Structure 1
């Protein structure tokens, strides 16, 4: 199985494939001759309601959960994979981690098919984590797999509760079709409290509008489109006017939430009656040119924020959640500078609030931030220093 662009490679191979089953393996796996005969026998025992077989080496059979299909040989029923509302394996816009493509597909179809688990001495996996330095199996299990497991289905029947959500999650997006679906999946994986998701499309010209059409069946999600590109601050203010929640949480279209983000932030809000802003730690990922994500660690901001420190450092403060009433009181995000609020709108708002409002720090990583060369922040890094100086000393 290909190590990079896994889903794309598998989907291309399956387009012209007409057999009833296919087997996924990893480079270096050792297969003994008797495995072919065993596969024939296992396939004969499969019934129409079976989606496939997870094949384990015999020493792992007693300790492995049926759901832990990574680094195993898997026999898939072709029709189970290639039919349904989203046929084939999920591409990187829906899942940016190649190592979890098979697990994601298994989760997507397990509600409709049974799975069998077998063991054999004729199969010996050679794939090991140390040979793949960009992988972090512990983080995959604790942070990424729960998002996949919880975000598969749209939730109906919540219309009454949605009249008063606790948190309004806001995504402002412009030509982020390659990233937005994974961000949305991370919101849909949240288990509480009652939330709504507002997506403001700032005039995208890529596949974003088509993707947003697919979200119309979920009553928790509302999508709006700006007639022309107006910038991040204008989009956030448009969301603020429509937010029904008591709190507003920003989520960049190329980032994603920890699976426990909203419940932890809501608990902090409940215990922070006087706070207007709540912020926390975040996981940081570096995006390679190939699109692979490399974990860079957990980033921790100071426990107390000052206006001067914010303007001097220009930190990436994520997550950041605001009391909606406070945002209205301070007239939301400024669209005056620089470039009509297209850059540094987050720092400008936080610097204003730091002098008047109470901000609470939550020492937990509740957000995943992606560092990529094509982001607005990276492309305009050279403009930050002059801008911050103009804010700190407007007379100069």
Structure 2
């Protein structure tokens, strides 16, 4: 029996060692493979990809995944000795919230896996999600279970078979993280569906310059929208990193298309190029390192159709801070300003996301300005919102529809010292007191 020990909560060597000793005591002849923090999907996929690396015995019909820091009853392992019913992918752990005082359970994911389930009907491996496709490694087992759930069933073991559960470090904020991640992980992907209607309702524009590793998670959040009538425009602003892989992964969906600039021209120029090509009625901006709540488009559509004169809609968002290892960590729920004020927006430099504009309104204003300090590379969101509010109705939705990732090396974070200069320049053309 091959048993993987995965450090999904970054608990370190002591937790891995303790669980490893426990596993070997329960199954002395087990082949134990350890995956350090950040390596879970890589180790699982490489082993499944090359089962011959395990020797003559190979991986076998089943394999086990154990989370570093947990202990369990030897009786649990007896489930692996019998045969599962046909169509059953394995044994799933019961829902259990880590730590005391938690009210909402955080699913762990399966314990025992039928190796056959990790292949499609044609023998193509599904693979556990990489960090690019799932930046929250602690859900790597659960995410695979949810994908397999479309074709396979699961047996659930008793809760008392676990004698200890891993307790994530405090910075992990497991309960808050799960509260906002559960809807997205549980949402079904609409990848490859036939579009409804001749034209999309929303044109989602994702501009990027390099940072290709962030794109997949953002794109998946679009694919999981409950409102499927959209187009996604990937606007490559002169990246030196290849973005061809994104179209290999997602280009078979006819709602997705790629536009490219030969050189890096900045965010405003990229948005204007996308605006020319947009076929929808409303344009939604999505930054490459951010993602959407699965209900985002549905809620936006409901609000817009109830107030057809709206020029822009914005909403609350969830703020995540990125750790040095790339792990997003829940920071806070950010309520947007209750009523839009261009004066307050420019005075306090308040980030608003999501930003959804009526395309007719954007075109009537001539799109985003590409001149001024930074050449349209900075604060293009502020200038458009302030300009548009002088001519159209702006509405807030008091729901968190967007997830914003704060990175220390982001463009906005690294140019905060330029804001005062830009605001003084912008105020020469737009007087926020009159808005």
State the TM bucket, normalised to the shorter chain.
0.7 to 0.9
Equivalent of residue 148 in structure 2, options 109, 132, 137: 109
Contact residue 71 and residue 127 of structure 1 kept, 8 A: no
Aligned with residue 51 of structure 1, among 89, 112, 116: 89
- Alpha-carbon shift at residue 223 of structure 1 (Å): 1.7
Please give the TM-score of this superposition, normalised by the length of structure 2. 0.79
Instruction: Answer 1 or 2: higher relative contact order, Cα 8 Å, separation at least 6.
Output: 1
Secondary structure of 1:291's partner? Answer: coil
How do 1:216-231 and structure 2 match up within 5 A?
216-231=251-266
Match of 1:101, SS state, is helix
Is 1:134 aligned to residue 172 of structure 2?
A: yes
Indicate conservation of the 8 Å contact 2:340/2:396, yes or no. no
Alignment match of 1:290 (pick from 300, 325, 335) = 325
What is residue 280 of structure 1 aligned with on the other side? 315
Aligned to 1:363: 398
Q: Kindly report which structure 2 residues correspond to 1:1-396, keeping only aligned pairs within 5 A, or say none.
A: 1-3=6-8, 4-5=37-38, 6-12=40-46, 14=48, 16-17=53-54, 18-20=58-60, 21-41=62-82, 44-47=83-86, 49-56=87-94, 70-71=107-108, 74-81=111-118, 87-119=126-158, 121-128=160-167, 131-137=169-175, 139-141=177-179, 143-152=180-189, 154-158=191-195, 161-192=196-227, 194-393=229-428
Scaled by the length of structure 1, the TM-score of the pair is: 0.87
- Distance in 1, Cα, partners of 2:366 & 2:143: 42
Specify whether residues 206 and 393 from structure 1 end up closer, same or farther in structure 2 by C-alpha distance, changes over 3 A only.
Answer: same
CA contact (8 A) 1:26 1:125 kept: no
Q: Whole-Å Cα distance in 1 between the matches of residues 161 and 45 of structure 2? A: 28
The answer to whether the Cα contact below 8 Å between 1:338 and 1:344 also exists between their aligned partners in 2 is no
Conservation of the 8 A alpha-carbon contact between 2:92 and 2:109: yes
Give the distance between the partners of 1:337 and 1:286, measured in 2 at CA: 30
Contact 2:109 2:145 in 1 (8 A): no
Give the whole-Å Cα distance in 2 for the aligned partners of 1:322 and 1:314: 19
Alignment CA distance shift 1:222-1:134 (3 Å): same
Counterpart in 2 of 1:65?
Answer: none
Shift in CA distance, 51/313, structure 1 to aligned 2, threshold 3 Å? same
**CA distance in structure 1 between the partners assigned to 2:125 and 2:183 by the alignment:** 20
> Which segments of 5 or more consecutive residues in structure 1 lack a partner in the other structure?
59-67
Q: Deviations over 1:128-155 (max 9, x none)?
A: 46x54423435525x3233233344523
Alignment check: 8 A CA contact 1:25 1:74 kept? yes
CA distance in 2, matches of 1:150, 1:301: 25
Gaps of 5+ in 2: 1-5, 9-36, 97-104, 430-435
Range that drifts further, 188-197 or 8-17: 8-17
Q: C-alpha distance in 2, partners of 1:183/1:195?
A: 15
Secondary structure of the residue aligned to 2:265 is coil
Task: Report if aligned partners of 1:236, 1:333 keep a CA contact under 8 Å in 2.
Answer: yes
CA distance in structure 1 between the partners assigned to 2:152 and 2:128 by the alignment: 16
Cα offset for 1:33? 3.8
Separation of aligned partners in 2, 1:277 and 1:372: 26
8 Å contact 2:372–2:425 — kept in the other structure? no
- 1:25–1:72 Cα contact (<8 Å) kept: no
Secondary structure of the structure 1 residue equivalent to 2:212: coil
Q: Is the 8 A contact 1:70 1:99 kept in 2?
A: no
Secondary structure of 1:178's counterpart equals helix
